[in-house]
Amino acid sequence: MKKALFILVLVNLALTLGPPILAIPMIRHTPAMLAVAHAAGRIAPFASAVSALLAVAIVFRWRRPLSWVALALIFACVAVSRVSIFEWLFAPAGAAQLAAIAQFQDIRDSDMVIGVTLGDESRAYPVRYLAYHHMLNDRLGPIALLPTY
């Protein structure tokens, strides 16, 4: 019982914390590391849900202070594996709010924009906006656009 619970906790922590740890900026990333991170991120939501059910069944029969801690950790993995840690750091952009360029005063004249023209429509994305959100799921005319920075 005790051993099974311990293994469940370890597996879930590895699956949930592995991907963000592998994708921190200051290390040299290899394709194999990223492949592992991607695979772990894909199975973590499912694996943690199954683990939570198993853990509840175990704790039902083996109630110790430590088993409640294990249960709490696994439930934390259920939650964390379903959100993006990077989107905590850099909130995703909401739907684009537009201004006419003549009236646009959110940035200085000397600040940079990413400009795009498709047919007879043009749009400017402030670099300072993209440097925080990093991307915007947008649309210009018939084209679904993804400005990134």
Task: Report the nearest approach of other proteins to the CB of residue 54 (Å).
Answer: 24
Contact call for residue 37 and other proteins (CB under 8 A): yes
Contact call for residue 7 and other proteins (CB under 8 A): no
Cα 52 from Cα 119, distance rounded (Å): 53
Amino acid at 66: L
Task: Report the nearest approach of other proteins to the CB of residue 10 (Å).
Answer: 23
Cα 16 from Cα 84, distance rounded (Å): 11
Q: Which is nearer to other proteins, 10 or 43 (CB)?
A: 43
140: buried, middle or exposed (CB in 10 Å: 19+, 13-18, 0-12)? middle
**Which among 20, 9, 103, 87 has a CA at the least distance from the CA of 48?**
9
Q: Which of residues 106-125 bind other proteins (CB under 8 A)?
A: 106-118, 120-125
Residue for token digits 């990134």? 148
Contact call for residue 127 and other proteins (CB under 8 A): yes
Q: Are 41 and 19 in contact (CB under 8 A)?
A: yes
- Helix or strand run (H / E) with residue 16: helix 2-22
Contact call for residue 83 and other proteins (CB under 8 A): no
Task: Report the nearest approach of other proteins to the CB of residue 73 (Å).
Answer: 23
- What does the binding site for other proteins look like in residue numbers (CB under 8 A)? 19-20, 22-26, 28-29, 31, 34-35, 37-39, 41-42, 84, 86-87, 90-94, 96-102, 104, 106-118, 120-129, 131-138, 143-148
